[in-house]
Structure 1
């Protein structure tokens, strides 16, 4: 683990806040939108490893929107509820893995992946 610059610490704190906002969005939906806006704002000014976190967070938001859309559409034929349950688990796992990588001062394992 290398020593972090003040910019790294600030960026890591911002990334941590975004992960928490995503988790809180399970109860208060608007916080996810605030989180993705923050990720877009901070992604260009961050060091490379933090840029990967912001990319991971942005993809988490948009892929999550897709899962929710599909889940709501398919909820009329029951399977959508399983899609929404998958999305819930998927979001929590991605946020926890992102927070763990952030705590290790490392990039997320697969910032462009669709799964966990």
Structure 2
């Protein structure tokens, strides 16, 4: 009898990760500036899709934190509207949101993970 040689299966190639969904989420966050509740749709999509890919997970975590931190400071700004400073807080939240989304899109287009997705700032 001939010894049976073990057959190794061919390596499984994983398809490259698609940047489409994280891009849509960033766009939904930016659209939330003018159209209410699109950010809520985006964060739900981020929660559902995290865990699929290592570098995309950092983007999903970054997007989730962007939503919650933006909501917190947006609420604080809304409470302070009776005082003039509320307008300034809301303006700064919008600028912060635009910067975070731009940075996220930059890393996403390079197919790189966000270096520090748990930061409150720009993720660097």
Shift in Å at residue 6 of structure 1? 3.1
Aligned length, in residue pairs: 109
Aligned to 1:98: 104
Aligned to 1:71: 77
Shift in Å at residue 20 of structure 1? 0.5
Shift in Å at residue 19 of structure 1? 0.3
1:21-42 Cα shifts (integer Å, max 9, x gaps) = 1011111111101000000000
Aligned to 2:67: 61
Counterpart Cα distance in 2 of 1:70 and 1:30: 18
Q: Does 1:42 align with 2:49?
A: yes
Higher-Rg structure is 2
* Unaligned runs of at least 5 residues, structure 2: 1-13
Counterpart Cα distance in 2 of 1:110 and 1:84: 24
Counterpart Cα distance in 1 of 2:16 and 2:42: 19
Greater helix percent: which structure?
1
Shift in Å at residue 92 of structure 1? 0.3
1:46-101 Cα shifts (integer Å, max 9, x gaps) = 21111010000000000000011100111111111111000000000000000000
Q: Does 1:8 align with 2:14?
A: no
Q: TM-score scaled to structure 1, two decimals?
A: 0.89
Aligned-CA RMSD value: 1.1
* Unaligned runs of at least 5 residues, structure 1: none
Counterpart Cα distance in 2 of 1:63 and 1:25: 14
Secondary structure of the 1:66 match is helix
Q: TM-score scaled to structure 2, two decimals?
A: 0.84
